[in-house]
């Protein structure tokens, strides 16, 4: 009987995910649990923070279990898992950010790389006002900080 | 904000009203995104919100954008100028030209790639006959980053040699000469060129070569003037600065420093040549070491 780790999602649509060792060792934050001394038949329950809902955790586990059948993680990501496109819709944006943050929390390096690279591609070449509008970001710089930023941009242009 | 509409469209159970927004993601994630962006892109995103601004100033991000040997570049500056600087400030300081070797050479890092670039003034090179004003003269000008170029009036033995030793970061580099056929100046505020001394460059090519301390070599020949001059079309090589690429070399990083030598010669003394300005040599980074290895592998196979 192999060790089992349970990821307990309590947020929207609560759900428990049982991970076998092959999947669990892909997460930096829990792989060490397999090396600690405990009864081989015991189950360890790991509480997932509320902000990571069961859908997102399910997507991440789907990635972990399916990636091996593709030539590379990137191939799987682009061909099947996330289809990079010119401009994602609001739902896709939310999903990308949620997977990114959850992967970082779980220590799933490959997914962190893929999600952050995708986000970088979406942000490249756009001015902050466009990004705020597309990604629903509130600008929270004070008037002084905005002025300092404008000054710095002006100096940067002169320096060119 | 449209989240309920997303729920209707969404057969799956992702509730986007509880999902993170770009403004909420932790600075550590933003820093990871910045790994894939260039310094100008990072500075652009610093204006998004506080988290982005914070990540855009972090040492963690900027350390990755600096070349591995950035300390060698800092060592060229007066110590008080680099005291207490953040990694972002170091990047800004090093992206402006840093003079060394009696101000005859400059180093800087490219703002987009973070790679090390170098320029060597004609003043920092060995030019045959430079001390004889019948052959060569120094012309002050703003058209050179060193504010002076060497103007050749006329000579038989044309040879310009140079060398530099520096700890360049691993990568592929290209070396080129910056040359102007004809003299130039300003008349009534307009740029004018003169070709009264320009001759001989269409008869035989000039030989360019480079070599490195670890045995790499490259060479090529160029005619500096148009060989077949047709009046209707004019001269295609006269009156503007041209970068003549000598070749490429690789720095693997296995040596503490690399010595690079270069040469430009036309020493066929059966004909004289003249009417040319030599400004500088540029050493520009053109790729990573892994690009070279991939290319070599492809060529072999």
Residue ending a domain, among B96, B120, B149, is B96
pLDDT value for B291: 76
Which secondary structure element, helix H or strand E, spans residue A62, and what is its range? helix A54-66
Please indicate whether residue A53 or residue B273 has the higher confidence score (pLDDT): B273
Residues B85, B164 within the same domain = no
Q: What is the pLDDT along chain B (301 residues), one digit of tens a residue?
A: 433 333 333 434 455 445 678 988 999 999 999 999 999 999 999 988 889 999 999 999 999 999 999 999 999 999 998 899 999 999 999 999 999 999 999 999 999 999 999 999 999 999 999 999 999 999 999 999 999 999 999 999 999 999 999 999 999 999 999 999 999 999 999 999 999 999 999 999 999 999 999 999 999 999 999 866 555 566 688 999 999 999 999 999 888 899 999 999 999 999 999 999 999 999 999 998 887 766 554 443 3
Dig out the tokens for B74 from the structure. 């800092």
Tokens 């600096």 label which residue?
A: B66
Mean pLDDT across A93-102:
93
Helices (H), B35-115: 39-45, 50-55, 59-65, 70-74, 79-82, 87-94
The boundaries of the domain holding residue A23 are 4-124
Residues B77, B111 within the same domain = no
Q: What is the DSSP letter of B290?
A: H
The boundaries of the domain holding residue B159 are 98-293
Residues B175, B130 within the same domain = yes
Q: What is the DSSP letter of A69?
A: G
B178 touches B280 (CB < 8 A): yes
- Residue A83: is it exposed, middle or buried by C-beta count within 10 angstroms (0-12/13-18/19+)? exposed
B76 touches B82 (CB < 8 A): no
Dig out the tokens for B120 from the structure. 């060597």
Residue B29: which of A12, A95, A101 has the nearest Cβ?
A101
Confidence of residue A1 (pLDDT cuts 50, 70, 90): low
| SS3 (DSSP) at B119 | strand
B146 touches B121 (CB < 8 A): yes
Q: What is the DSSP letter of A30?
A: T
Residue ending a domain, among B96, B125, B160, is B96
Mutate to test the interface with B, among A74, A90, A126, A144 (most CBs of B within 10 A): A90
The domain tally of chain A equals 1
Q: Can you tell me the distance from the alpha carbon of B204 to that of B51, in angstroms, rounded to the nearest whole number?
A: 62
Rg (CA), chain A: 20
What CATH number should be reported for the domain holding residue B214?
2.60.120.260
- A19 has pLDDT over 90: no
Q: Can you tell me the distance from the alpha carbon of B33 to that of B48, in angstroms, rounded to the nearest whole number?
A: 14
Dig out the tokens for A96 from the structure. 């990308």
pLDDT value for B9: 35
Taking CB atoms and an 8 Å limit, are A51 and B20 in contact across chains?
Answer: yes
- A102 has pLDDT over 80: yes
Residues B175, B237 within the same domain = yes
Taking CB atoms and an 8 Å limit, are B22 and A97 in contact across chains?
Answer: yes
Residues B110, B89 within the same domain = no
Residues B184, B69 within the same domain = no
Mark A110-129 as b/e (b = at least 16 C-beta within 10 Å). Answer: bbbbbbbbbbbebbeebebe
pLDDT value for B115: 96
Identify whether B7 is part of a domain.
no
Q: Which residues of A touch B96 (CB under 8 A)?
A: 159
Mean pLDDT across A11-32:
83
- Find the Cα–Cα–Cα–Cα dihedral A30, A33, A34, A37, rounded to 10°: 180
Residues B130, B72 within the same domain = no
Chain B closest CA to A66's CA: distance in Å?
Answer: 19
Q: Which residues of A touch B53 (CB under 8 A)?
A: 141, 145, 149
pLDDT value for A111: 94
What CATH number should be reported for the domain holding residue A79?
3.30.710.10
Residues B145, B33 within the same domain = no
| SS3 (DSSP) at A86 | coil
Dig out the tokens for B123 from the structure. 């003043």
Q: How many CA atoms lie within 13 A of B130 on its CB side?
A: 16
Residue ending a domain, among B96, B115, B136, is B96
Which secondary structure element, helix H or strand E, spans residue B3, and what is its range? helix B3-9
Please indicate whether residue A156 or residue B123 has the higher confidence score (pLDDT): B123
Taking CB atoms and an 8 Å limit, are B13 and A128 in contact across chains?
Answer: no
Please indicate whether residue A3 or residue A78 has the higher confidence score (pLDDT): A78
Residues B89, B111 within the same domain = no
Distances B257 to A11, B167, B254 between C-alpha atoms, Å: 57, 4, 9
Q: If you count them, how many residues does chain B have? A: 301
Least confident of A50-54, A114-118, B116-120: A50-54
Residues B190, B79 within the same domain = no
Look at phi and psi of residue B239 and say left if phi exceeds 0, alpha if psi is from -120 to 50, else beta. left
B65 touches B110 (CB < 8 A): no
- Per-residue pLDDT tens for A118-151? 999 999 999 888 999 899 888 776 766 666 666 6
Residues B48, B125 within the same domain = no
Taking CB atoms and an 8 Å limit, are A55 and B13 in contact across chains?
Answer: yes
Please indicate whether residue B192 or residue A42 has the higher confidence score (pLDDT): B192
Residues B134, B33 within the same domain = no
pLDDT value for A32: 72
- Give the whole-number percent of chain A exceeding pLDDT 70: 82
- Give the whole-number percent of chain A exceeding pLDDT 90: 31
User: For residue B171, which of B286, B34, B36 has the smallest C-alpha distance?
Assistant: B286
């Amino acid at each position: 009987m192999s060790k089992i780790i349970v990821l307990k999602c309590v947020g929207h649509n609560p759900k428990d995910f049982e991970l076998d060792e092959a999947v669990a060792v892909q997460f930096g934050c829990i792989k060490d649990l397999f090396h600690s001394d405990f009864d081989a038949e015991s189950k360890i329950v790991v509480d997932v923070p509320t902000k990571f809902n069961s859908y997102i955790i399910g997507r991440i586990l789907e990635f972990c279990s399916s990636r091996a059948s593709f030539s590379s993680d990137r191939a799987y990501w682009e061909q099947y898992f996330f289809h990079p496109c010119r401009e994602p819709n609001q739902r896709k944006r939310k999903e990308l950010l949620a997977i990114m943050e959850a992967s970082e929390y779980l220590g799933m390096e490959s997914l962190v790389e893929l999600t952050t690279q995708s986000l970088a591609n979406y942000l490249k070449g756009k001015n902050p006002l466009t990004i705020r509008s597309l990604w629903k970001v509130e600008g929270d710089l004070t008037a002084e900080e905005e002025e300092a930023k404008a000054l710095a941009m002006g100096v940067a242009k002169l320096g060119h | 904000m449209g989240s309920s509409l997303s729920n209707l469209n969404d057969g799956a159970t992702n509730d986007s009203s509880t999902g993170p927004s770009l403004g909420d993601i932790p600075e550590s994630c933003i820093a990871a995104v910045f790994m894939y962006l260039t310094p100008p892109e990072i500075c652009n995103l610093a204006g998004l919100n506080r988290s982005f601004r914070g990540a855009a100033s972090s040492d963690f991000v900027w350390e990755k954008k600096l070349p591995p040997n950035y300390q060698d570049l800092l060592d060229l500056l007066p110590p008080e100028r680099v005291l207490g600087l953040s990694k972002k400030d170091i990047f800004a300081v090093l992206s402006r030209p840093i003079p060394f070797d009696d101000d005859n050479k400059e180093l800087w890092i490219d703002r987009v790639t973070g790679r090390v670039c170098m320029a060597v003034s004609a003043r920092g090179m060995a030019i045959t006959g430079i001390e004889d004003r019948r052959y060569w003269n120094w012309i002050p000008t703003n058209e050179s980053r060193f504010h002076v170029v060497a103007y050749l009036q006329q000579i038989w033995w044309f040879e310009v040699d140079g060398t530099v030793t520096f700890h360049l970061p691993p990568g592929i580099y290209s070396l080129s000469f910056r040359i102007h056929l004809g003299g130039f100046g300003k008349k009534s505020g307009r740029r004018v060129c003169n070709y009264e001394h320009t001759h001989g460059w269409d008869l035989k090519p000039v030989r360019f070569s480079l070599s490195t301390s670890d045995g790499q070599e490259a060479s090529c020949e160029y005619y500096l003037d148009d060989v077949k001059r047709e009046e209707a079309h004019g001269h295609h090589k006269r009156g503007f600065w041209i970068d003549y690429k000598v070749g490429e070399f690789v720095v693997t990083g296995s040596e503490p420093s690399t010595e690079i030598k270069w040469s430009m010669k036309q020493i066929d003394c059966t004909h004289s040549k003249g009417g040319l300005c030599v400004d500088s040599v540029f050493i520009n980074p053109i790729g990573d070491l892994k690009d070279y290895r991939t290319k070599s592998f492809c060529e072999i196979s």
